[in-house]
A and B are shown apart, each in its own frame.
Chain A
Amino acid sequence: MKIFNLIFAFVFISFSAFSQSNGAFETAIKSQIQAMQQIDSPESAQEVSNSFLRISEAESGEWLPLYYAALTKIETAFRFDVDKDAYFDEAIDLVQKAKEVSPNNSELTALHGYALMGKVSVDPVSRGQNLSPQVMQLYGTAINQDRANPRAVVLMAQMELGMAEFFGQGPEKACGMARMADELFRKESQKVDENYLLPTWGANTAKALIENCQ
């Protein structure tokens, strides 16, 4: 009986140690999400994405660290003077890896589209015709995978606006989508607390698009 109790105790301790290590995962992700806000150079971005990748190497069953590493790459390419194609390609690689861990994930599909949109932006004249439909399709799939994903909708709105501007059409459709995204962001923000690890970015883009509509 004594032995049994002891073993039980060990197991319990081990479990708490295990859950502690899970807590470590959350803490690590959280601290890097905060570090993302402090990025001010390609070097600091590299540090953040490296940290996410270290977490992902230790937690091979998790898609979130790969997601954030890819997002960091994409944002770096948009913000700083780097070899944009290489960054977008690496982001797409990371998203593909994450998709193996978590298939049919709306956030990953939307991020894939975002990276591909980045590739279009590098050379819109020659890549637009071929890649833009693929981007639209990814956003469409992302919306179908999760109708409450505001990022899929806001990215689609951005794309629609770009197309409408290019072809001199009214922005009504894009604006409608931006408003919908804004509503979804509002709903999402109600779920967000200090332990929330899932992506929450994009609300400002929706706001900016709506402002543009008025």
Chain B
Amino acid sequence: MKLRLILFCYLFLLQSLAFGQTVLSGRVLDEKGIPLPGVNVLLKGSYDGTTSGVEGEFEFSTEKSGMQVLVFRLMGFKTLEIPVAVEGETLQIPDQELRESITDISGVTISAGAMEASDEKKSVVLRPLDIVTTPSAVGDIVGALQTLPGTSSVGNDGRLFVRGGDASEVGIYIDGLRVANAYGTTAGNVPTRTRFNPNLFKGTFFSTGGYSAEYGQALSSALALNTKDLSIRDQGDLSLMSVGGGYSHTLANEEQSITLTGNYFDLSPYQGLVKQDFDFERAPFGWDLEVAAQKKLGKDGLLKVLGRTESGGMKIRQPEPGQEGAGALIDLRNQYSYAQSNWSKISPNGWTWFLGASISANSDEIAFDSIQTTRDNKLAHLKASTIRDFSDRVSMKLGVEHFINTYAEGLPLEGLERNFQDGQTYLYTEWDWYLSKKLVVRGGLRGGLSSLSEEKWLDPRVSFAYQVSKNGQVSLAAGKFSQAPLENYRALNNDLKNTQADHLILNYFWNKDGITFRAEAFHKEYAELIRFEGVPMAPVNLRNEGSGFARGFDLFFRDRQTLKNTDYWVTYSFVDSKRSFEQFTTQVQPGFAPKHNLSVVVKHFVTGLKSQLGASLAVNDGYAYTNPNLPGEMNSKTPGFQNLSLSWSYLPRPNLIIHGAITNVLGRENIFGYDFSATPNAQGVYESRAIGQPAPRFLFLGLFLTLSKDKNANQLNNL
């Protein structure tokens, strides 16, 4: 009996193999009913299947029978599985529709206000390499960003100024964690630089407005720098420059890597050779030590650590307008440390996790002749966030942050000090909805509270992007942005509330085969800006009373395609900005917001010379300033700023780069404003002194050598 049953079962099962074939046929279409060719159509668990033809049609035969699963697969579409009962000689499958899956690459992205520098994505305006090869930047990240739309170059400052905002309105982040005092401390109109080396970063996200709810404490702009992942090999990098030198050593394996770097710079030898217009008693000097480590944790986790400490200073004499002599001696010493660690994990189930903490500590000692001053600033940032992809159409970002900020400034000889401590807590969320591959809506909310000002606030933000043609898209962004006033103001008046800005941005972005065009119009409304009586050095009666606006448009065109081995970009930014702030009693054009800004960068690779030649030109129409000899505020304008810079990078060997650059080749005497005497002279005239450049030109020469015991390079001998 048992045997019969086995036999029966076996024969029954065998039947499916022995009995005839079924021909399956049908058609695959997309959501709009357009036929899809190239779809992989198959019966699950068998080799049976085919590829759909030009009309989306398919036909194949199978020996299988009974209930089966028919699978449709095509790159860029969601896989479709349908149950089918396979029987008879032919089986007509009803028309099937495949839904497009929306990915980072295929979906429209919000480009209002946003500019990315990355190797990975296509629609980027800048590549990481551009930062080191833009002549006017001389290796400074912010220097390269100053060639992008929405920025203006303020040559005696060096920091980033975005759309009529001052430099403090740009929030700088490394791996999503805030960096305080990201620029070197400077004095006496000597331009500063970013402290962080561009080699640390794999990508940069720069927004000139309307940015994500993830970023706060910035009225105008967010600059997010993302550090590199695991290094791939052991190597040493040696740099010798006209202003100093450094060495960096990397140890790496499959699981972890660490890079240790030390640099020293001193402008004394350079200034000994090249005459300076500024009266340096001690040329700027400094050293820094840096460690960057990465470690894989589990399959999808990555832990990063970055630490940096540096020290530097300078002594410079600043002549007073209308007075004899060399002027007051400014003696500056700076100590700075930054450390952060972050852990991220991308789970295959649609969750991404991030935990991070950072601390910035800055200490300045500045003496003005016999008056000694100190300034100490510490900022700690703790952050936890998650991203959840509910489907390829809906995703959510959720985060919680806490900041602890302490600030103290004092006159140690007099035993005077004023300070504050503030704790700020934020909660933010942001949702992306893809209504189709061509239309995305993003809504975000950022809520914060401050323990010092006892203020609570909520900043809503919203943006849209719509793909209007194959290569073009339109984006719109609006939002509210809050930022605590400058620390030295808060130390004087702990009750100061947030300053505020509302953004409205309309953007058009077009990108195809190495040609990028970007046009953006914006309107920014400022409120609650800080006003006071007196002078910025000694403000009185600080209050949130100022207001203003910035409006304008900018254009960007980049072409890496048309001319062989040549890459160029042209940027024009128009900013009309007026605000009542600081000591100004009326709405005026700020000194850091020139109206017309033009920037051109050209790079050309000459294969025969193994060299890249670069040129960059920056022009604006001049800076507003107040001439006390005339009625009114901000009643005058300097001559226009011009800077033509050239560079030459020579690669004689794969591991050696020799880079030379000259800024302001034409030696134009740029003027950024005027200092006026505090009191009029005997003739009743306030005497003036132009604020110019440290020297007409800056020359840079550097040699960068990479030493690696490259296993691959020795491979030949091992075989």
**Which positions in A face B, CB cutoff 8 Å?**
3, 6-7, 10, 17, 24, 28, 43, 46-47, 50-51, 53-55, 57-58, 85-86, 90, 125-127, 129-131, 133-134, 136-137, 139-140, 143, 147, 153, 156, 163, 166-169, 173, 176-177, 180
Contacts and interface: CB of A to CB of B under 8 A. Distances in A.
B119 A50 contact: no
Interface stretch (B264-272, B363-371, B646-654): B646-654
A7 B6 contact: yes
Interface in B553-578: 560, 567
27 contacts: A28-B47, A46-B38, A50-B40, A50-B49, A50-B51, A51-B49, A53-B40, A54-B49, A57-B42, A57-B45, A57-B71, A127-B119, A129-B129, A130-B119, A130-B202, A131-B119, A137-B712, A140-B712, A143-B715, A147-B719, A153-B719, A156-B712, A167-B653, A169-B653, A176-B716, A177-B715, A180-B716
A150 to B, nearest CB: 11
Given A58-B47, A131-B119, A140-B715, 6 more contacts: A50-B50, A143-B715, A167-B652, A167-B653, A177-B716, A177-B719
Is chain A's binding surface mostly helix, strand, loop or mixed? helix
B40 A10 contact: no
Contacts of B654: 163, 166-167
A129 to B, nearest CB: 6
Contacts of A90: 75
B44 interface: yes
B351 interface: no
B127 interface: yes
B19 interface: no
Contact of A137 (B3, B42, B75, B232): B232
A57 B46 CA distance: 8
Nearest to A48: B51
A156 B715 contact: yes
Contacts of B10: 10
Contacts of A137: 232-233, 712
A56 B687 CA distance: 84
Interface in B670-712: 710-712
Name the interface size band of chain B.
35 or more
Contacts of B42: 54, 57
B719 A43 contact: no
Contacts of B129: 125-126, 129
A166 B46 CA distance: 49
Contacts of B71: 57
Interface string B64-82: 0000000101011000000
B232 A133 contact: yes
B463 to A, nearest CB: 26
Nearest to A132: B654
Interface string B98-113: 0000000100000000
Contacts of A168: 610
A209 B570 CA distance: 42
Contacts of A17: 17
Contacts of B610: 166-168
B122 interface: yes
A126 B131 CA distance: 12
A182 B670 CA distance: 64
A136 B712 CA distance: 7
B62 to A, nearest CB: 12
B573 to A, nearest CB: 25
A160 B73 CA distance: 38
A196 B362 CA distance: 67
A180 B50 CA distance: 41
Contacts of B119: 126-127, 130-131
Nearest to A20: B17
Contacts of A10: 6, 10
B61 to A, nearest CB: 14
B712 A6 contact: no
A53 B719 contact: no
Contacts of A86: 75-76, 105
Nearest to A163: B654
Contacts of B233: 133, 137
B719 A143 contact: yes
A167 B127 contact: no
A57 B610 CA distance: 49
Interface in B28-72: 37-38, 40, 42, 44-51, 71
A43 B52 CA distance: 10
Nearest to A126: B127
B517 interface: no
Contacts of B173: none
B232 A134 contact: yes
Interface string B123-146: 000011100000000000000000
A85 B232 CA distance: 23
A130 B711 CA distance: 17
Contacts of A177: 715-716, 719
B3 A167 contact: no
Contacts of A127: 119
Interface string B318-336: 0000000000000000000
B665 to A, nearest CB: 25
Contacts of B40: 50, 53-54
A54 B651 contact: no
B605 interface: yes
A6 B4 CA distance: 11
A195 B463 CA distance: 59
Contacts of B37: 43
Contact of A173 (B127, B128, B711, B716): B716
Contacts of B710: 136
Contacts of B44: 57
Interface in B131-165: none
A126 B51 CA distance: 36
Contacts of A129: 129
Given A85-B122, A180-B719, A54 B47 contact: yes
Interface string B600-618: 0000010000100000000
Among A129, A139, A147, A163, max chain B CB count under 10 A is at: A129
Contact of A47 (B3, B51, B75, B653): B51
A169 B37 CA distance: 47
Nearest to A28: B47
Contacts of A166: 610, 654
Nearest to B655: A167
Contact of B38 (A3, A7, A43, A57): A43
A127 B46 CA distance: 41
A36 to B, nearest CB: 14
Nearest to A176: B716
Contact of B605 (A7, A43, A125): A125
Contacts of A7: 6
A51 B60 CA distance: 12
Contacts of B202: 130
A126 B121 CA distance: 12
A7 B10 CA distance: 11
A191 to B, nearest CB: 19
Among A7, A130, A156, A163, max chain B CB count under 10 A is at: A130
A147 B719 CA distance: 8
A176 B76 CA distance: 43
